[in-house]
Amino acid sequence: MLKEQKDAHLSRAMTMHGDYLLRVCNTYVQDWAVAEDLAQDTFVNFFQRVFKTPAERS
């Protein structure tokens, strides 16, 4: 998959789910700045795992 496609998928996921994830994170930490960091880290970790090749997953 091309980098542009990966970026588009990430952008779309953040648009669709970012606000909800941010609110969930804030519910736990009660600090918007920390919640933003957690939400961003969640997206980065998720997409790093999703876009690994099958050989990298083993």
- Whether the model clears a pTM of 0.85, i.e. scores above it, the answer is no
Residue 50: what pLDDT?
Answer: 84
The end-to-end CA distance of the chain, in Å, is 19
Dist. CA 21–CA 15, nearest whole Å = 11
Q: Name, in order, each residue with C-beta under 8 angstroms of 38's C-beta and a sequence gap of 6 or more.
A: 25, 29
Q: Please write the tens of the pLDDT for every residue from 1-58.
A: 688 888 898 889 999 999 999 999 999 999 999 999 999 999 889 888 887 777 776 6
pLDDT of the residue at 22: 97
* SS3 assignment, position 10: helix
Judge contact between 47 and 9, C-beta under 8 A. Answer: yes
Angle between helices 3-29 and 32-50 (to 10 degrees): 140
Look at residue 51 in the predicted model and tell me its pLDDT. 79
